[in-house]
Amino acid sequence: MKLEKYSIGVGDRFGRQGLAQLAAVQKAQQQGLAIVPVWNKSHREHTIIHTTPAAVRAEADAAVREGGWQGRYYVDADHIGLHNVDVFLESSDFFTLDIAAAIGQTAAPEAIRQYVDHLDVYLGPLRIDGVAETFEVTRGRIEWIASKYLEAIRQAGCIYRHIEAAKGPGNFVTEVSMDESHEPQTPLEMFFILAALAAEGVPVQTIAPKFTGRFNKGVDYVGDTAQFAKEFEEDLAVIRRAAQEFDLPENLKLSVHSGSDKFSIYAPMRQAIRKYDTGLHIKTAGTTWLAELGGLAVSGGEGLQIARQVYRRARGRFDELCGPYATVIDIDRDQLPSPDEVETWTGGEFADTLRHDPACENYNPHFRQLLHVAYKIAAQMGSRYLDALEAHRQVIASEVTENLYERHIKPVFLD
Ligand SMILES: [Zn+2]
């Protein structure tokens, strides 16, 4: 199973927007862009919303059937480890092995020694086309990278073989993610990480590094865009070289997590993948839930009541909701409107404040980030929330499709 060059991770908290998400991919296809959808959901999300991996598979299959999609599509077990992969085995055909937590764990000295011996052909100056710096590779430097990453990669190998034993080799796509680690990976680290993954026998097709800057949930990139562009290009250069050098799939590509709404880096990303004629996977999970909430608000009536209530309760449970996302949100409480004020807003005002349109003066990224992490409240509303999605299906679907196509697929892949 070989993942296509361009793919988009479409998360869906409540599993009701599969068709609307697929419609965005189909619009892109009509514009001549070959891109495939990947429905992804993490164990963390399933736990908070009380959904199951089987439901994601059912949603994807139903969307594809109803939407008449002829192309390939995937269901991604996002951010899994050995302790929680089993519930995903049957319904997923794409697995994101999360090694971030194991980075820095100590590898066996013997494993480190073998690894350095295996790579001693790279000792001395190492030039990688597309990377300005010439690296001076020493045993010490490889040992240092090994002591940081080798144990994490050994664990990725264990998870991979566990999945392979259940599904059979070649029957699923493997991604390795490090995006939730503390520091960005340097190009040289990336090169030797890929070497280790190849040696471990993990046929990684997409790799998600941690990039420089902040990838806050649902809002634009915060950081030095020129530095990001440089790192992104260097990663592409390293991946190209590693795919030639090591036993790795030829379609190996970058995966960008928390990739939704990062408008200021979409142009550099698009230019870089064109320059290198390479693929890209971009995960956009939470943006669909926010489009859904905006759709409810503009629907008025009960839909607007629900949207206002989600906000009021989110204010009351600020610490509980923000806690698990502390490292990926930046909310200034003073910039949040009071729930009483929001109670007086029209649906249009609510949606304008929420919708990520930097040109709109009502847009408030603090309001948006708080609602991004507030999906638990909607989940607790149960059938009241789900019935409203059903009642206002068309308005919501058009918000979801437009958001994914106009604000994400188009600027990343087409413009
Ligand atoms: Zn991630």
Q: What is the pLDDT of residues 73-127, one digit of tens each?
A: 999 999 999 999 999 999 999 999 999 999 999 999 999 999 999 999 999 999 9
pTM: 0.96
Rounded to the nearest angstrom, the distance between the alpha carbon of 176 and the centre of ligand 1 is 10
Nearby residues for ligand 1 (ion, Cβ within 5 Å) = 179, 257
- Confidence (pLDDT) at 285: 83
- Confidence (pLDDT) at 286: 85
Q: What is the pLDDT of residues 226-257, one digit of tens each?
A: 999 999 999 999 999 999 999 999 999 999 99
The Cα 38–Cα 18 span in angstroms is: 10
- Confidence (pLDDT) at 273: 98
Q: What is the pLDDT of residues 387-415, one digit of tens each?
A: 999 999 999 999 999 999 999 999 999 98
Give domain limits for the chain.
6-105+145-286+407-414, 289-400
Q: What CATH number labels 6-105+145-286+407-414? A: 3.20.20.70
Q: Which residue, 405, 404, 330, is CA-closest to 372?
A: 330
Helix (H, G, I), strand (E, B) or coil at 94: strand
Helix (H, G, I), strand (E, B) or coil at 347: helix
Rounded to the nearest angstrom, the distance between the alpha carbon of 301 and the centre of ligand 1 is 36
Query: Are 26 and 67 in contact, with CB atoms under 8 Å apart?
Result: yes
- Confidence (pLDDT) at 325: 86
Rounded to the nearest angstrom, the distance between the alpha carbon of 329 and the centre of ligand 1 is 14
Max Cα–Cα distance, the chain, nearest Å? 69
Rounded to the nearest angstrom, the distance between the alpha carbon of 110 and the centre of ligand 1 is 31
Rounded to the nearest angstrom, the distance between the alpha carbon of 326 and the centre of ligand 1 is 14
- Confidence (pLDDT) at 326: 87
Low-confidence ranges of the chain (pLDDT < 50): none
- Confidence (pLDDT) at 295: 97
Q: For all residues of the chain together, what is the average pLDDT?
A: 96
